[in-house]
Amino acid sequence: MKGLRFTLFVALRHIRMRVRSTLLILLGVSLGVFVMVVMQSMMFGFQAEFMRILLTTTPSILVKGRERGTISEGRIYTSRPGTLYDQTRLKPIEKEEGIRAYRTLSREIEAIPGVQAVAPIVQGRAILRYGTRDRGANVIGVDAPDYDRVVEFRSKVIGDVDELIRRRDGVILGVFLAEELGAVPGTRIRMIGVEGQEADLRIVALFRSGITAIDKTYAFVNLPMGQSILDYPTAATGIAVKVSDPDRATPIARRVEFVTGLESQSWQEINAVFFGIMRQQNVITFGAVAMTILVAGFGVANGLVTVVLEKRRDIGILRSLGVTARGVAAIFTVEGIIIGILGAIVGVALGAVWVDIMDDLPIGGRGGLSTSDTFLMLREPAVYIRSIVFALIVSTAASLAPALRAAKYDPVEIIRTAK
Amino acid sequence: MGIVFSIAVRYLFGRVRQSLLTVGGIVIGVLALTVIQAMMGGFRANFVDSMLGASPHITVRRKSIQAFDPASPTRDALRRLQDPFIVQLSRPPLPDEEEEIRSPSTVEEAIRQVPGVTVTAPMVGGQVLFGFSGNWEPVSLNGILPSRQARLLDFASKVIEGNPEDLERNQSGVILGRILAERMRVGVGDRVTARAEDGALTSLRIVGLYASGIYDVDNSTAYVNLRRGQSLLGLGSTVNTIGVRTTDYEAADETARRIEYAIGMEAESWMEASANNLGLLRMITTVMYLVTFFTMTVAGFGIAGNLVTTVSEKTFDIGVLKAMGMKSREISLVFLTLALLMVIIGLGLGLVLSYFAVEGISRIPSASREVPGAIVSSSTFPMMKSTSMYVISAGFALVIGMAAGFSPAVRAARLEPLNIIRNAAG
């Protein structure tokens, strides 16, 4: 305890002696921590929000109307030299059959531990026509109350969901899809199915998830209406499943496959490539941010090297007064840590202020993926803790080499050569 | 000047360890700045190249499409829906029936009179359903004149399989977007069925695959002969779009305004068409530049810290130099030269390292292939490789170095020789 107080005393003295250069080093560390806090808050904030929307808009598991393993058993297209995609081009022999026994299967899936709710859906492509304007849409036929148990459907609908249940010819359009068609709730549009089935539908409400790709393509209809337009008169194309713990979706999807014999994909598997890009983006950004802190670490090392050189005689005296080599090393390491802590405090404070400011800052142009108007900043303590820890590690590491050097000084040599 | 330089060099090598750490900071700063520039620049160039391979510099239409118009009836209705007290919905106007351009050649002639316009081409566009073995997909169909299209945009080089000229020879040929074809599981030589406006079915032979690099385009677009497009979309002998090529694609916005003024139709430049993606790119670029700016600034702090220490260590030397007749200006020059030397060494190393980093990263496979939401799909990291980015990094490093060296240098010049020597003696 006494040793620690002495170490602190000497370390603080060294820091106070060189105010100007210490301030510059501190500023470097603060800026590094600041940048790290802000970037983490920005990237993770966006990603967390995106994941949240994804999890509340799309089911955690989607069971498909295709028998497990059929795709790998499909015929591989004969390879033509010089073409690019031969290996992956599989030819389906005919249209997928859909799940006829979807009611029974739903009950079976619901009995699997971890499954919270299920809803049969029918999903496919169709053209929407309003006046002379046509748009392709991803049509999803749902039983609204069932579907609402699987995803947070009701809360994303602007208008009256129950209208969809009451009217057989109701349709709920993604907001951007409606906008591109130029149609508003209350108007009638025509939906043209792939086999030529047509239906005049009434827009009863709009759907807004916040993910551009979804809001631009989705159109929800009643399950029977979807079945007739998409030409699955008595079948569903999939069963949407909600699990109680989203992190366990993949093992549960495997369990569902085992029980039903149908191909199932968890939300992690469906979005695997997308998450891969997110990770890649994180790596690039962190590479850039780490550079700032690394350079700040160089500053810390630089300052300590200078102190060690300047205090050569002091070190000799300390050693001859009985301070061990380890004690000398401790003094300089503590100096590095103190600078790290002070820099982290200033950086975190600056970062918190800036995160607050950015939270209300409008994003220039509507983003490609999300439709949020402002930056989505994450304000979890983890963001700050990670930045502080990183700064401390770097500044401690930076102080190690100068500290070890100081510890290696031979006191006899120093005192003998001193004037 | 000779003495100033040699003192600066002496100071630089007199404190090797500290100098190295300072120089290291600059190396990393330059490296980060150059690599980020290459990355961001490459990303934009790749996007622009893909975009210009997929759509003309300017697209002229009879009337505006209301998409993303803040005053659109949908937006208005949305506002009302969110307000529980206003339940009355207004009836929107039906979309304009008059979207066709009846005499394209006259309109084209007028457009070609506008300065900056080089090529025009009539096109038709609309949604049809394509079917293959029971699977149907809505497709954005483009009817084009193949020979004219080749001059309008870099079309031929984006056709990765098959021959774009077959579209001219074969009236029932179609070129499909690569990802769309992959999804429909068809290839060159296969026949797909197109469902026309009036429900009639037409069989089309795939004569080529098309890969612009823009996911949305490659996932939904098909090209047919203009005639075929007109009949599939029920347009008779009219067209609904005219594509325009300009002399300078970066100035497409102004040319589009001139066309609108000249002929009274809506002209949309490629920048307007991809405003969302360009905006997103701009935002990412700004953020990344800010991060690297901070790295450079911290490296600047390193230089300043180094100089402050050198000045205080060499106070006695400065006093002696001044007493021997060296001018204040020369003293500050010594320290500015020292800063400059550190920057130049760091810069040299940093530029060499960043050259290798840029080359290396451009070989790393990228995960952004074929993902909805990824703006462009590319198999490797597209890196910009221009000298300008090295010049910008160098300039920035020099400015930062000079700024960092300024205050310590001035301080050193202000030291009083008498005080220093008197204190040292006492």
More confident residue, B380 or A170: A170
Residue matched to tokens 């003696």: B425
Residue matched to tokens 């040299």: B348
More confident residue, A97 or B350: B350
pLDDT above 90: residue A125:
no
> For the residues A104-130, what does the mean pLDDT come to?
90
Residue A8: what are its φ and ψ, rounded to 5°? -60, -45
A191-205, B66-80, B265-279: range with lowest mean pLDDT: B66-80
Beta strands A157-159 and A198-207: pairing type?
Answer: antiparallel
A167 touches chain B (CB under 8 A): no
* pTM for the structure as a whole: 0.77
A323-332, A408-417, B406-415: range with lowest mean pLDDT: A408-417
Contact B113/B238 with Cβ under 8 angstroms? Answer: no
pLDDT above 60: residue B243:
yes
* pLDDT classification of B201: cutoffs 50, 70, 90: confident
More confident residue, A94 or B393: B393
Residues 6+ apart with CB under 8 A from A70: A263
> What's residue A89's pLDDT?
40
A262 touches chain B (CB under 8 A): no
A1 touches chain B (CB under 8 A): no
Identify all chain A residues contacting B397, using CB atoms and an 8 Å cutoff.
none
Nearest-CA residue of chain B relative to A217?
B138
**Nearest CA-CA partner of A189 in A133, A123, A228, A125:** A133
> What's residue B93's pLDDT?
42
- What is the C-alpha separation between B144 and B128, in angstroms, rounded? 15
For B362-395, write each residue's pLDDT tens digit: 887 765 544 444 555 566 677 888 888 899 999 9
- What is the C-alpha separation between A232 and A99, in angstroms, rounded? 9
> What's residue B70's pLDDT?
43
Residue A21: what are its φ and ψ, rounded to 5°? -70, -30
Contact B312/B420 with Cβ under 8 angstroms? Answer: no
> What's residue B367's pLDDT?
53
Q: Give residue B312's identity as a one-letter amino acid code.
A: S
Contact B83/A178 with Cβ under 8 angstroms? Answer: no
> What's residue A67's pLDDT?
54
Nearest-CA residue of chain B relative to A174?
B74
- What is the C-alpha separation between A63 and A98, in angstroms, rounded? 11
Q: Give residue B12's identity as a one-letter amino acid code.
A: L
Identify all chain B residues contacting A88, using CB atoms and an 8 Å cutoff.
182
* pLDDT classification of A66: cutoffs 50, 70, 90: low
A188 touches chain B (CB under 8 A): no
In this prediction the ipTM stands at 0.72
Neighbours of B128 (CB within 10 A): 23
pLDDT above 80: residue B172:
yes
Contact B374/B27 with Cβ under 8 angstroms? Answer: no
Picking from B187, B302, B373, the nearest residue to A299 by CB comes out as B302
Identify all chain B residues contacting A291, using CB atoms and an 8 Å cutoff.
28-29, 31-32, 292, 295
B315 touches chain A (CB under 8 A): no
> Across the interface, do A277 and B294 touch by the CB < 8 Å criterion?
no
Contact A237/A124 with Cβ under 8 angstroms? Answer: yes
Contact B342/B12 with Cβ under 8 angstroms? Answer: yes
Contact B122/B108 with Cβ under 8 angstroms? Answer: yes
Identify all chain A residues contacting B22, using CB atoms and an 8 Å cutoff.
298, 302
Percent of chain A with pLDDT over 70: 89
> What's residue B184's pLDDT?
83
> What's residue A79's pLDDT?
32
> What's residue B371's pLDDT?
47
A152-166, A357-371, B120-134, B189-203: range with lowest mean pLDDT: A357-371
* pLDDT classification of B351: cutoffs 50, 70, 90: very high
**Nearest CA-CA partner of B319 in B217, B397, B423:** B423
Contact B347/B398 with Cβ under 8 angstroms? Answer: yes
Beta strands B221-225 and B135-144: pairing type?
Answer: parallel
| Portion 343-402 of A in contact with B at CB < 8 A | 363-369
Residue B55, both tokens? 């759509």
Mutant choice from B11, B19, B86, B294 vs A, greatest count of A C-beta within 10 A? B294
> Across the interface, do B72 and A213 touch by the CB < 8 Å criterion?
no
Please, what sign has the CA dihedral across residues A104, A105, A110, A116? negative
Residue A201 pairs with which residues in a beta bridge?
A189
> What's residue A94's pLDDT?
47
- What is the C-alpha separation between B340 and B398, in angstroms, rounded? 7
Cα dihedral B397, B400, B404, B410, rounded to 10, equals: 100
Residues in chain A: 419
- Helix segments in B236-314, DSSP class H: 252-263, 270-273, 275-313
HEC string of chain A?
A: CHHHHHHHHHHHHHHHHCHHHHHHHHHHHHHHHHHHHHHHHHHHHHHHHHHHHHHHHCCCEEEEEEECCHHHHCCECCCCCCCCCHHHCECCCCCCCCECCHHHHHHHHHCCCCEEEEEEEEEEEEEEEECCEEEEEEEEEECHHHHHHHCCCHHHEEECCHHHHHCCCEEEEEHHHHHHHCCCCCCEEEEECCCCCEEEEEEEEEECCCEHHHHCCEEEEEHHHHHHHCCCCCCECEEEEEECCHHHHHHHHHHHHHHHCEEEEEHHHHCHHHHHHHHHHHHHHHHHHHHHHHHHHHHHHHHHHHHHHHCHHHHHHHHHCCCCHHHHHHHHHHHHHHHHHHHHHHHHHHHHHHHHHHHCCECCCCCCCECCCECCCCCCHHHHHHHHHHHHHHHHHHHHHHHHHHHHCCHHHHHHHCC
More confident residue, B278 or A170: A170
Nearest-CA residue of chain A relative to B201?
A196
Supply the mean pLDDT for chain B: 81
Helical packing angle, A272-310 and B275-313, nearest 10°: 10
> What's residue A73's pLDDT?
32
Contact A279/A378 with Cβ under 8 angstroms? Answer: no
Contact A222/A164 with Cβ under 8 angstroms? Answer: yes
Contact B362/B381 with Cβ under 8 angstroms? Answer: yes
- In angstroms, what is the C-alpha Rg of chain A? 32
Helical packing angle, A2-17 and A19-57, nearest 10°: 110
For A307-349, write each residue's pLDDT tens digit: 888 888 888 888 888 888 888 899 899 999 999 999 999 999 9
Supply the mean pLDDT for chain A: 82
For residues B79-102, one letter each, b for 16 or more C-beta atoms within 10 angstroms of the residue's C-beta and e for the rest, the string is ebbeeeeeeebeebeebeeebbbe
A94-98, A130-134, B157-161, B352-356: range with lowest mean pLDDT: A94-98
> What's residue B94's pLDDT?
46
- What is the C-alpha separation between B279 and B261, in angstroms, rounded? 26
Picking from B89, B185, B368, the nearest residue to A184 by CB comes out as B89
Nearest-CA residue of chain A relative to B301?
A24
The Cα-based distances of B107 to A44, A375, B115, B153, B243 in angstroms read: 51, 44, 15, 19, 11
Identify all chain A residues contacting B39, using CB atoms and an 8 Å cutoff.
284
Nearest-CA residue of chain B relative to A173?
B74
- Helix segments in B124-244, DSSP class H: 146-152, 166-169, 178-184, 215-218, 226-232
* pLDDT classification of B24: cutoffs 50, 70, 90: very high
B91 touches chain A (CB under 8 A): yes
Picking from B15, B308, B370, the nearest residue to A21 by CB comes out as B308
For A17-49, write each residue's pLDDT tens digit: 878 888 888 999 999 999 999 988 888 888 888
Picking from B92, B133, B279, the nearest residue to A92 by CB comes out as B133
Task: Give, for B361, the enclosing helix (H) or strand (E).
Answer: helix B328-361
A138 touches chain B (CB under 8 A): no
| Portion 42-61 of B in contact with A at CB < 8 A | none
More confident residue, A17 or B352: B352
Shortest distance between the Cα of B261 and any Cα of chain A, in A, equals: 25
pLDDT above 90: residue A393:
yes
Contact A347/A289 with Cβ under 8 angstroms? Answer: no
Beta strands A218-222 and A238-243: pairing type?
Answer: unpaired
Beta strands A218-222 and A133-142: pairing type?
Answer: parallel
Identify all chain B residues contacting A365, using CB atoms and an 8 Å cutoff.
275-276, 278-280, 282-283
- What is the C-alpha separation between A289 and A24, in angstroms, rounded? 19
- What is the C-alpha separation between B330 and B191, in angstroms, rounded? 82
- What is the C-alpha separation between B257 and B264, in angstroms, rounded? 10
Identify all chain A residues contacting B134, using CB atoms and an 8 Å cutoff.
92, 94-95
Identify all chain B residues contacting A25, using CB atoms and an 8 Å cutoff.
301, 305
Task: Give, for B176, the enclosing helix (H) or strand (E).
Answer: strand B173-177
> For the residues B72-79, what does the mean pLDDT come to?
55
